Chain A
Amino acid sequence: MWELIKANQRKSQILFVMMGLCLITLGYLIGSAYFGAAEGGLIGILLATILWLALSLVSYFAGSSIILSVSNAKEVTPEVHSQLFNVVEEMKIAAGLSKMPKVYIINAEAPNAFATGNSPENCAIAVTAGLLAKLNRDELQGVVAHEVSHITNRDIRFVTFAGVMIGAIVLISDLFLRGFFYSGGSSKRYNNKSSGGGQAQLIIFVFAILFAILAPILARLLYFAISRKREYLADASATRLTRYPEGLASALEKISQSSEELPTANKVTAPMYIINPLKRKGMKISDLTSTHPPISERIRILRSMAGNYNYQDYQKAYSNVKRTTAKIIPDSELAKVITHVPVASAITRSTPISAKAHQRNLGDIMMAVNNYSFIKCDCGLKMKIPPGFAKKEVICPKCGKMNHVISS
């Protein structure tokens, strides 16, 4: 595990430096375009760095709470969904986390999940109500294990920081390009001393514009390249935690088959989810620009592990499916093998649930998250009372019995 974390951190550092270079070059070019090459470049670099530092500080201390509230996630207690809590606790123990992650439920029909936070001690796992309604226990465990792996592999902090750095680059380029176009494209009022200098200035200006257009794209590509690899790695770690690759595989299959969009996801938060929540219609997403590896490929890899769950099995399946020799797991980790203990068919396949039952499950989870209280009348009628209900008693419309309302 440590080797993996180190490898991740190394990759993150390389990526960080490259994205940082993007940011600094952008700052330099824009600065010198506006204030002259000599001191303007430095000013630009300084301003760009300050902006990034400020944004990073905000994201470190408030990032996960911002992300959770933007995603409309609500923290829940074990009473709301005990199975989810059990699964998270199991995976917490399996992964050796010192503290239980906070558990959030997002009130949305689209099945999806993400993890966030700045350290394994201070992190949260959020799943949508649709995910809980659609998946059985094994599948849910696979998804939670994938998210817990993001936490133990230190992916969550990376995603937050990299996201913020992209945000800073986009912001600067946008400001520059807009400012440039709205001011009529004239740089003369800033530097009009000599005609020779003006020529050089023009060239720098052209470079600045070009780079302002390219930098956000470049930064995104860098980010995507690493975030895709992280998804594979989290899948590999998840199968090791659950020792049951089929759980995650069938969860991914179910998630990918759903057609609902997640309304609260956006471009910045998209890479955090277990599968891309933004579905583009009628367009095949190119491999280069997608934040997630193709789902079908992830499922194929998991299925071709044939019930084995060690890193070497995942690596082998990965190489077979992708037809590459590329290593996604360091050698020292590959050597670590958990001996296969056949489980005496502990896995029970649940029968597929009807559309009706599914809709009701989903509704119940959403209502529990929103503090509804549940009453079951003696005649069998179930009543779900909203938190704003003022009366203490309610008549059962079926049998006429007065039922006491327990306010939550």
Chain B
Amino acid sequence: MKCPVCKEPMIVLELNQVEIDYCHQCEGIWLDSGELDLLLEGSKDKENVIASLSKKANINEKKIKCPLCRKKMDKIKTDYIETIILDKCVKGEGLWFNKNELHKVLLAGNLNTNNPVFQQLKSIFEYKFKKN
């Protein structure tokens, strides 16, 4: 799979049985729709988080193409914890997090320390966060 932003081949990271696609160049992250479900398994906030990922955002950010289906992705706005603009595949293949977007999600996730998703992702990117 190629990074939708810088077109570099993406590597796959795995920790505690969780697998995510990661671009080592721009540090963006791709989550398959199924992966997000798996990540959220057992979380009380699962329904809320997924539901919050459906609002379309009316902004003029450059649209990027889905790495799987090659269609232009929708910009969506999630205000579950903090307002963040993400890219979502129109066919529902998955979600794209730019470098800073993920950072924001994770920082916001700190407020909600019980959420296993944020904990997990934070642990994978420990080094990157210390640097930022």
Contact = CB atoms under 8 A, between A and B. Distances in A.
Pair from one complex: yes
Interface of A: 354-357, 359-360, 363, 367, 372, 380-386, 388-391, 394-400
A360 B11 contact: no
B114 interface: no
B24 A386 contact: no
B24 A360 contact: no
B69 interface: no
Given A355-B38, A359-B38, A360-B19, A398 B123 contact: yes
B9 A389 contact: yes
A238 to B, nearest CB: 33
A348 B109 CA distance: 42
Contact of B11 (A355, A380, A389): A389
B130 to A, nearest CB: 8
Given A380-B15, A381-B14, A382-B14, A356 B38 contact: yes
A398 B11 contact: no
B12 A367 contact: yes
Contact of B127 (A357, A383, A384, A397): A397
B126 interface: yes
Contacts of B9: 386, 388-390
Contacts of B125: 397-398
Contacts of A395: 24, 127
A356 B38 CA distance: 6
B41 A355 contact: yes
Contacts of A357: 17
A381 B15 contact: yes
B11 A356 contact: no
B15 A356 contact: no
Interface residues of B, number: 25
B124 A384 contact: no
B34 interface: yes
Contacts of B19: 359-360, 363
A381 B22 CA distance: 13
B122 to A, nearest CB: 10
A384 B11 CA distance: 6
B36 to A, nearest CB: 12
Contacts of B126: 397-399
B50 interface: no
Give the top 10 A-B pairs by smallest Cβ distance, nearest first: A384-B12, A400-B127, A382-B14, A386-B9, A388-B9, A356-B17, A397-B128, A397-B125, A389-B9, A356-B38
Candidate in A356, A360, A372 with the most chain B CB atoms within 10 angstroms:
A356
Contacts of B1: 386
Given A356-B38, A359-B34, A386-B1, A399 B11 contact: no
Contacts of A398: 15, 123-127
B8 to A, nearest CB: 8
B127 A356 contact: no
Nearest to B18: A356
A255 B16 CA distance: 27
A397 B22 contact: yes
Contacts of A363: 12, 19
A19 B17 CA distance: 53
A356 B18 CA distance: 7
A367 to B, nearest CB: 7
Contacts of A381: 13-15, 124
Given A363-B12, A383-B14, 18 more contacts: A359-B38, A360-B14, A360-B17, A363-B19, A382-B14, A383-B13, A384-B12, A388-B9, A389-B9, A390-B9, A394-B11, A395-B127, A397-B22, A397-B124, A397-B125, A398-B125, A398-B127, A400-B131
Interface in B108-126: 123-126
A394 B15 contact: no
A394 B12 contact: no
Contacts of B11: 383-386, 389, 394
Interface in B37-84: 38, 41
A259 B10 CA distance: 30
Nearest to B12: A384
Contacts of B13: 381-384, 397
Nearest to B41: A356
12 contacts: A355-B38, A356-B18, A359-B34, A359-B35, A372-B12, A382-B14, A383-B11, A391-B24, A397-B124, A397-B127, A398-B15, A398-B124
Nearest to A376: B14
Nearest to B22: A397
B7 to A, nearest CB: 11
